[in-house]
Chains A and B, each alone.
Chain A
């Protein structure tokens, strides 16, 4: 996990104590006689401190001040091989920061047939001259100026908002290729700013693309190359306040541009959380989650985004859409929220959302279970789902990922050193007869009050035991979750050494889980071979969510591309066939990443002709002139 502002070394107990304190502090800060803090409607004044107080905001207008322009995450955080050929993670933000990871080099070289000697570095500086000059709609620019809403057509600002984090997008940046990018960026400060921008856009027929955190992995942010109008990237990052918290109804009303870490941190200060923690939560935004139907790691307790929102406000070319009340459930025809959720920026801009909040959990505990093989692991997860006793998070990694996880063990760290580990491995493989080439591990995260957590933990471990699972300690679990936050950084390092990769996901009924996992992994390997990839790829998967009727499965896939003339094309072909394999085996087009442009060719078969027609007719009504012209979904 990202360690937020607190340093890396604090123990769980300390952390929880801190959280309690901050929660109390949060209570004290609010007027005692009022349950909700009401925000003044005025939002123009920049930096006006209104709404629920919170620490510093993470995302500045000029993202480049803190984030990489051609890779993942913070400028100060990255993996590299040091002079001794050992992998190291820089910076101070993460638990892994400043640590040496001795096993990584070997794993990396052996898995990919790569060598730390073969390097291919990306240019460090963005070459603005390679960027197409902006096509500006003068009339629009003029009128916008008069509203006082900040904007820019600086090359860096524009390039930053022209992409998400698909492999091909990042690869192109590293190659200094920019293609069609937005002509201008605007930073509305609040809902009414957005209303003005959308009005002007309609008036002057310019194309608007909402931009949240930029973490899209579906080509959703890519500008359609055929778009002739001026493209304006509407960056919501400055609409990042929690407008009020309603403790009576356990809701918070939040501006849609807030990023996950700020939302959680600020709510934590008041003793609350939403519990929505997608792996991208450091950077992805509330509006982005709504627009893509995001899913968080702890959905078992808190639900996915569709379970979490109570009210949504969206500005469309037809006007503002919102419901008239905040009733917890309604039967008022098809739920209009479901036109908005998953609309992927094609209908309008989500500006404000009322979200459920929960008191912060008193106690958190990680755990892990080793299974003799993946089949047993899946059977166990299904049983857990059947008994509806899934912990906040339960994830099952396959054997390759288990080994990958091992390779990422840092050298020294209080929370990682577990001298039992070696012994445990010995016990599991030699004594229990687990085959190291088959065993796999499930990581667990329990949350709640202490008593219940311990009880819950026992229940889950008892089930696991029925499937041959052996408890394998808290560190393994914790390391598993930490990994999810650094894996995106790892990809950047891979690219420094001719290794490219990506993850993609699906959801699938229980009876298909094993089949999908097996067939998709095998398909990836076969396709790589056929496409001339010299070394066998890394092709691995994990089950990351359980539902009553099935599971969410994530695939990771990476290969050494030396010797290929167009590696990204090969990569895309392989991912394409992998997706076909998923669909052929009963998996869905996406569990939470969305469709964007990357997967829209399969929309028709996924939702049927009529289904697609429904979506299209909503689009035609709401946005007849295709102002929100990112061309996702349809």
Chain B
């Protein structure tokens, strides 16, 4: 329960983790039907006052909270209160789940079949399950799975059903509702639906938050949602969204429950079903509408091997412990608690920090497969040989050697790596490569990214028109982005040391303070890109120093950093990890300085910057095709907006127009490129 368990700052090396159990094994050996029909008697919250599911809605509609808002809306709009009430009821109707055990059983049956064809195993840490069961008994529980695939929440419910745990109620985006049938099925398996945007809609917000709180406070069911808000298309964790987290913490902060347990869950896919889909989406190849047929069209999906899934239920985190010495709860003493109030600055920053810590907790328990390391190495090799004009690819032996080296480094950094211990490294490598044969080619003892036929299925799809250089580039980028999405899974392990390595690289001297300034600049720059806890610059710096020193890559002599003999390899690797991002941010800056037109809007930004990048890639001025990722481009813009180098106009005709402070953007670009000392840029308001 202790909050320290959320993530260990100082010594990631000492991280202890549970063992896994494959839940598909039993499914392969016994009847799915019996499994789907077996007796289901989960442990419930001890404070639960048994009441019928139907009562939930009336509890929400009769709550003081909602009444207050209904009256307010009625006064503001002149609508009769019972009309507003009816509207609230309609919102609730549209939103509410209708969890039905029969539907769950249906899913238990069909998913068993599907999972067995798609995956080799679904591994779950049973100790985590036991902790969860205990937590559900003790306090209201919030489940926070990572979000990489549509599968996630079905998978979660499937696992909970398997272990006879209380089934969660899940916050799902409204876009599912466009798939009529699936939407209703999901609703009956516990999903409730929230509109994507309801900005100023007070009534909607009131119904929604009261609905969630009522479920939570009474312990009717664990509440599940995705802290990242949406599926991460890059496999990097996304900056957490705070809305729902605010809602579920509120009952604790206002004293309505003794505590709330938040359980981060890390779901790692060895191969992601949506892999290529995501890459295309980020490259601007239109996204297929999320329709029922779309999801299942890929029949071929079913015939492929997606390896295994690891699901790690993390330590339950007590909101009470998180808030201890952080939030003064007595601030709610002086106004009735049912009157909605905007959370104050302290609450906001508390929730925000907690959100980051929870995402980090998810990250830390993500299982990394050897392929993640291979993809990292292959990508680096690709760029280096491209730059040097060398022959593409690397010898299998060399790859294996490097992989073993990287395995050891990443373990030292606390990575949760599943590298089969009783298999020879070369076997590990070859079996990893074969699972991802869509992304790599092996010939003549060399491995390289499968770029040349990236345009379509082997053999060339449409021989009529030879692909234009731009098309070819985009096709290659699909492969590169797919590989990058695997590399990205390991970024959280390397990010702090990588920032330090780059800082050492770019700092004007090896003086610790200089390096720190440089580190701090980079960290600030990239805080929309990676999960870096707000306000933890010093801790991050120290953690990075600690890791590099402890692993013998770095020595600190009287405030001077000295890279050791064997440290050069590590630091070279680490700077290469960050390099594509450094380059990417610079290109975006350059675009804004050179090509951004007066009236450029946020909407036009991505297509315009993409065009600019394509140009640069084609002329060879830029090496990293992964910079084509709209995710990176948007993150850069977000960082610049945050830093005030770009402003977004609000309201009026010019709504969404970007105003670029070219001097500042330029200086940021130069600093990123190491052309300006960080000190200057820091002055430029960081």
Is the CB–CB distance between B330 and A583 below 8 Å? Answer: yes
B333 within 8 A of A: yes
Residues of A within 8 A of B202 (CB): none
Residues of B within 8 A of A515 (CB): 255-256
Q: Given known contacts A583-B330, A584-B330, A585-B329, is B258 in contact with A512 (CB within 8 Å)?
A: no
| Nearest-CB residue, chain A, relative to B64 | A511
Q: Mark A204-215, 1 if CB is under 8 A from B, else 0.
A: 000000000000
Residues of B within 8 A of A511 (CB): 336-337
Is the CB–CB distance between A518 and B336 below 8 Å? Answer: no
A586 within 8 A of B: yes
A523 within 8 A of B: yes
Is the CB–CB distance between A519 and B330 below 8 Å? Answer: no
Is the CB–CB distance between A512 and B255 below 8 Å? Answer: yes
Q: Given known contacts A511-B336, A511-B337, A583-B330, is B258 in contact with A522 (CB within 8 Å)?
A: yes
A390 within 8 A of B: no
Is the CB–CB distance between B332 and A518 below 8 Å? Answer: no
Residues of A within 8 A of B330 (CB): 583-584, 586, 605
A516 within 8 A of B: yes
Residues of A within 8 A of B256 (CB): 515
Instruction: Report B363-379 residues with CB < 8 Å from chain A CB.
Output: none
Residues of A within 8 A of B332 (CB): 586
Instruction: Report A496-536 residues with CB < 8 Å from chain B CB.
Output: 511-512, 515-516, 518-519, 522-523
Per the bound structure, the CA–CA distance linking A409 and B337 in Å amounts to 42
Is the CB–CB distance between A584 and B336 below 8 Å? Answer: no
Q: Which among A511, A512, A515, A584 has the greatest number of chain B C-beta atoms within 10 A?
A: A584
Q: Given known contacts A515-B255, A519-B255, A522-B258, is B329 in contact with A584 (CB within 8 Å)?
A: yes
Residues of B within 8 A of A584 (CB): 255, 328-330
Q: Which among A511, A519, A583, A605 has the greatest number of chain B C-beta atoms within 10 A?
A: A519
Q: Is the interface of A mostly helix, strand, loop or mixed?
A: helix
B616 to chain A, nearest CB (A): 57
Per the bound structure, the CA–CA distance linking A522 and B255 in Å amounts to 12
A342 to chain B, nearest CB (A): 21
Per the bound structure, the CA–CA distance linking A186 and B439 in Å amounts to 95
Instruction: Report B323-343 residues with CB < 8 Å from chain A CB.
Output: 328-330, 332-333, 336-337
Residues of B within 8 A of A605 (CB): 330
B322 to chain A, nearest CB (A): 14
Q: Given known contacts A583-B330, A584-B329, A584-B330, is B336 in contact with A519 (CB within 8 Å)?
A: no
Is the CB–CB distance between A519 and B333 below 8 Å? Answer: no
Per the bound structure, the CA–CA distance linking A511 and B332 in Å amounts to 12
Per the bound structure, the CA–CA distance linking A584 and B333 in Å amounts to 8
Q: Given known contacts A511-B336, A511-B337, A586-B333, is B258 in contact with A516 (CB within 8 Å)?
A: no
Residues of A within 8 A of B336 (CB): 511
Selected from B258, B328, B337, the residue in CB contact (under 8 A) with A519 is B258
Is the CB–CB distance between B337 and A523 below 8 Å? Answer: no
Per the bound structure, the CA–CA distance linking A628 and B240 in Å amounts to 58
Q: Given known contacts A583-B330, A584-B329, is B255 in contact with A516 (CB within 8 Å)?
A: yes
| Nearest-CB residue, chain A, relative to B47 | A518
Q: Which among B256, B332, B333 has the greatest number of chain A C-beta atoms within 10 A?
A: B333
Per the bound structure, the CA–CA distance linking A523 and B259 in Å amounts to 10
How many residues in A have their beta carbons less than 8 Å from beta carbons of B?
13
Number of interchain pairs (Cβ within 8 Å): 24
Is the CB–CB distance between B258 and A518 below 8 Å? Answer: yes
Per the bound structure, the CA–CA distance linking A473 and B448 in Å amounts to 88
A609 to chain B, nearest CB (A): 15
| Nearest-CB residue, chain A, relative to B253 | A584
Per the bound structure, the CA–CA distance linking A398 and B255 in Å amounts to 19
Instruction: Report A374-401 residues with CB < 8 Å from chain B CB.
Output: none
Per the bound structure, the CA–CA distance linking A583 and B330 in Å amounts to 7
| Nearest-CB residue, chain A, relative to B338 | A511
A126 to chain B, nearest CB (A): 43
B34 to chain A, nearest CB (A): 35
Residues of A within 8 A of B328 (CB): 584
Instruction: Report A570-613 residues with CB < 8 Å from chain B CB.
Output: 583-586, 605
Residues of B within 8 A of A585 (CB): 255, 329
A588 to chain B, nearest CB (A): 10
Per the bound structure, the CA–CA distance linking A519 and B256 in Å amounts to 8
Per the bound structure, the CA–CA distance linking A515 and B330 in Å amounts to 13
| Nearest-CB residue, chain A, relative to B1 | A526
Q: Mark A471-512, 1 if CB is under 8 A from B, else 0.
A: 000000000000000000000000000000000000000011
Instruction: Report A226-240 residues with CB < 8 Å from chain B CB.
Output: none
Per the bound structure, the CA–CA distance linking A321 and B435 in Å amounts to 92
Per the bound structure, the CA–CA distance linking A519 and B253 in Å amounts to 12
Per the bound structure, the CA–CA distance linking A195 and B255 in Å amounts to 50
Per the bound structure, the CA–CA distance linking A511 and B338 in Å amounts to 10
Residues of A within 8 A of B329 (CB): 584-585
Residues of B within 8 A of A518 (CB): 258
A148 to chain B, nearest CB (A): 53
Per the bound structure, the CA–CA distance linking A519 and B139 in Å amounts to 12
| Nearest-CB residue, chain A, relative to B256 | A515
Per the bound structure, the CA–CA distance linking A142 and B83 in Å amounts to 86
Q: Mark B501-534, 1 if CB is under 8 A from A, else 0.
A: 0000000000000000000000000000000000
Per the bound structure, the CA–CA distance linking A180 and B41 in Å amounts to 61
Q: Which among B256, B330, B332 has the greatest number of chain A C-beta atoms within 10 A?
A: B330
Q: Given known contacts A511-B336, A511-B337, is B258 in contact with A586 (CB within 8 Å)?
A: no
Residues of B within 8 A of A523 (CB): 258
B217 to chain A, nearest CB (A): 11
Residues of A within 8 A of B333 (CB): 586
| Nearest-CB residue, chain B, relative to A375 | B49
A24 to chain B, nearest CB (A): 52
Per the bound structure, the CA–CA distance linking A512 and B258 in Å amounts to 13
| Nearest-CB residue, chain A, relative to B337 | A511
Q: Mark B255-270, 1 if CB is under 8 A from A, else 0.
A: 1101100000000000
Instruction: Report A549-586 residues with CB < 8 Å from chain B CB.
Output: 583-586
Per the bound structure, the CA–CA distance linking A334 and B34 in Å amounts to 78
Instruction: Report B218-270 residues with CB < 8 Å from chain A CB.
Output: 255-256, 258-259
Q: Mark B193-235, 1 if CB is under 8 A from A, else 0.
A: 0000000000000000000000000000000000000000000
B256 to chain A, nearest CB (A): 6
| Nearest-CB residue, chain A, relative to B323 | A584
Residues of A within 8 A of B255 (CB): 512, 515-516, 519, 584-586
Per the bound structure, the CA–CA distance linking A489 and B492 in Å amounts to 61
Instruction: Report B282-338 residues with CB < 8 Å from chain A CB.
Output: 328-330, 332-333, 336-337
| Nearest-CB residue, chain A, relative to B328 | A584
Residues of B within 8 A of A522 (CB): 258-259
Per the bound structure, the CA–CA distance linking A584 and B255 in Å amounts to 8
Per the bound structure, the CA–CA distance linking A511 and B337 in Å amounts to 9
Residues of A within 8 A of B259 (CB): 522
Per the bound structure, the CA–CA distance linking A518 and B332 in Å amounts to 17
A536 to chain B, nearest CB (A): 14
A520 to chain B, nearest CB (A): 9
Q: Mark B343-355, 1 if CB is under 8 A from A, else 0.
A: 0000000000000
Residues of B within 8 A of A512 (CB): 255
B276 to chain A, nearest CB (A): 50
A533 to chain B, nearest CB (A): 17
Per the bound structure, the CA–CA distance linking A515 and B336 in Å amounts to 14
What are 24 inter-chain pairs, A to B, with CB distance below 8 A? Answer: A511-B336, A511-B337, A512-B255, A515-B255, A515-B256, A516-B255, A518-B258, A519-B255, A519-B258, A522-B258, A522-B259, A523-B258, A583-B330, A584-B255, A584-B328, A584-B329, A584-B330, A585-B255, A585-B329, A586-B255, A586-B330, A586-B332, A586-B333, A605-B330
Binding site for A on B (CB under 8 A): 255-256, 258-259, 328-330, 332-333, 336-337
Closest 4 CB pairs of A and B: A584-B329, A585-B255, A522-B258, A586-B333
| 20 extra interface residue pairs, beta carbon distance < 8 Å, beyond A519-B258, A586-B333, A605-B330 | A511-B336, A511-B337, A512-B255, A515-B255, A516-B255, A518-B258, A519-B255, A522-B258, A522-B259, A523-B258, A583-B330, A584-B255, A584-B328, A584-B329, A584-B330, A585-B255, A585-B329, A586-B255, A586-B330, A586-B332
